[in-house]
Amino acid sequence: MTSRVYIGGAAGFAGDRTDAAGPLVEALAQADGRRFLMFETLAERTLALSQLERRRDPSRGYNPALDRFITPILARCLEEQIRIVGNFGAANPKAAALRIQTIAREQGLRPPRIAVVEGDDLSGVLGAQELAARETGGAILRGASDIVAANVYLGAQPIAEALDRGADIVVTGRVVDSALALGPLAHAFGWRWDDWDRLAAGTLAGHLLECGAQITGGYFADPGVKDVPGLAEVGYPLAEIDANGAIVIGKPDGTGGRVDRQTVIEQILYEIHDPEAYLVPDVVLDLSNVTVEELGHNRVRIIGARGHPAPETLKATVCVDAGVLGEVEISYAGPNAAARARLAAEIIRDRLGKRAPDFKFRIDAVGVTSILTDDDGALRGTWGTASDVRLRFAARGAKPEDVRILLDEVEALYCAGPAGGAGVRRHVTPRLASASCLIERRFARSSVSMIEAPA
């Protein structure tokens, strides 16, 4: 038992900065209490891509940035007894644990005790049609045969169990993001799994930390509207939590960014559908009475989370093959560039209208008419007098040959005109479609295993 727990949020997605953990580790080393470093690196598409990687190579399937996240801070964490919890195991937590073990050996460190949390993978548990019957809000899975990934969101209990068993490092696959903080808190404070208000507070702490620098000014920044100092070296969040669930959010001294009521409230509301009923596997979080108070420079206190009994079902994300995305780009620059670019777009529209009348594609004039328009918007309105226009054409197909006609036609603009087209780039990218399902709890068979050091 302890009076205060400190958790650093070292990553908010798979491609996050790998030098962000260093200042957090140094701050945690000075903290008087139980210390944890949390890596949240797993989005839905990330996990599906990891499943495909594991199919190609059974020794892979974990976050490819694992080495860069762990190598710089592993020695210091083991020395200072800062315990690491991360979902960088993705589709292959056991392989990730073995890789961390190898990193420790290469650095001449004592073998860390590494726990692996598994049981989120629904492959072999529910078939395609069983998943389709449980899909919510759509019909993506109807008729699907090849399930790329099907993973249920596990809660915090197996993480707490792993820490109870003495793990220095806990490697998970698909868990709900906030569980990466709730698990350590339940372990450190001995919270009961029906103490709904404390579980809600721990879930809120995890929700505040799960997006990394989003709460310290990163995604928040909007020059002239919401200014953030020192963003190039933005500090990642550090939470202090007491046994009753009161949370103080800050960041390491000497780092950029900001922590105040605005940044915290923006993160609290992030991805919240119903503030009175934010559902996670361990509890239903009620935010309606939460208060946010600035304690001083870059220190904000959050209290008032309330909890209700856990939901009867768990969310699962299912990804299926959705064919390919074909993209091809060409640039026009210099005098009359906007007019030449528009003519190029009209030529492609006219040629495909005659040669493939049922072919659907999108045209973007990047920086002129693009994100804020519909699929035909690039040929509407005025393009102004831009002297540098990048055209992007895109189409979807079941297989690469289905989009080749578009890629070939745009490349032919090099010589077929209008004048000055340059820099053609062609890409064909596999696409995934994801669906959400509600799964009965009996199908979530979480397990915790310890990876022993090699003899």
Query: Would 23 be classed as within a structural domain?
Result: yes
pLDDT tens-digit profile of 233-255? 999 999 999 999 999 999 999 99
- Note whether 360 and 254 are same-domain residues: no
Task: Indicate if 290 and 239 belong to the same structural domain.
Answer: yes
C-alpha 84/C-alpha 70 separation (Å) is: 9
Q: Are residues 280 and 372 in the same domain?
A: no
pLDDT the model gives residue 379: 67
Based on the domain organization, do 35 and 72 belong to the same domain? yes
Same domain, 282 and 343: no
| pLDDT interval class at 380 (50, 70, 90) | low
Residue 285 lies in a domain: yes
Q: Does 327 score more than 70 pLDDT?
A: yes
- pLDDT value, residue 381: 62
Asked if the structure places residue 180 within a domain, the reply is yes
**Same domain assignment for residues 10 and 114:** yes
* pLDDT confidence bin for 145, thresholds 50/70/90: confident
Residue 373's pLDDT is 64
pLDDT digits (tens, 9 = 90+) for 9-44: 999 999 999 999 999 999 999 999 999 999 999 988
Q: What is the mean pLDDT of the chain?
A: 94
SS3 sequence of the chain: CCCEEEEEEEECCCCCCCCCHHHHHHHHHCCCCEEEEEECCCCHHHHHHHHHHHHHCCCCCCCCCHHHHHCCCHHHHHHHCCEEEECCCCCCHHHHHHHHHHHHHHCCCCCCCEEEEECCECCCCCCHHHHHHCECCCCCCCCCCCEEEEEECECCHHHHHHHHCCCCEEEECCECCCHHHHHHHHHHHCCCCCCHHHHHHHHHHHHHHCCHHHHHCCCCCECCCECCCCHHHECCCEEEEECCCCEEEECCCCCECCCCHHHHHHHHHCCCCCCCCEEECCEEEECCCCEEEEEECCEEEEECCEEECCCCEEEEEEEEEEEEEEEEEEEEECCCHHHHHHHHHHHHHHHHHHHCCCCCCEEEEECCECCCCCCCHHHCCCCCCCCEEEEEEEEEECCHHHCHHHHHHHHCHHHHCCCCCEEEEEEEEEEEEEEEEEEEHHHCCCEEEEECCCC
pLDDT reading at 371 higher than 90: no
Q: In this model, does residue 2 exceed pLDDT 80?
A: no
- The answer to whether residue 67 is domain-embedded is yes
The pTM for the full model equals 0.93
Domain boundary among 310, 327, 356: 310
The fraction of the chain above a pLDDT of 70, given in percent, is 96
**Whether residues 81 and 181 fall in one domain:** yes
Same domain, 261 and 177: yes
298 and 325 share one domain: no
Q: Does residue 220 belong to any structural domain of this protein?
A: yes
Model confidence pLDDT, tens digit, residues 190-217: 999 999 999 999 999 999 999 999 999 9
- Of 310, 332, 360, the position where a domain reaches its end is 310
Residue 143 lies in a domain: no
- Identify whether residues 365 and 416 lie together within a single domain: yes
User: Are residues 247 and 343 part of one domain?
Assistant: no
CATH of the domain at 432: 3.30.70.1120
pLDDT for 378: 60
- Domain of 346? 318-436
The answer to whether residue 273 is domain-embedded is: yes
In a shared domain, residues 326 and 306: no
Closest CA to 231 of 206, 263, 193, 201: 263
Indicate whether 237 belongs to any domain: yes
Domain count, the chain: 2
Query: Of 259, 277, 310, which closes a domain?
Result: 310
Please report the pLDDT score of residue 374 as a whole number.
61
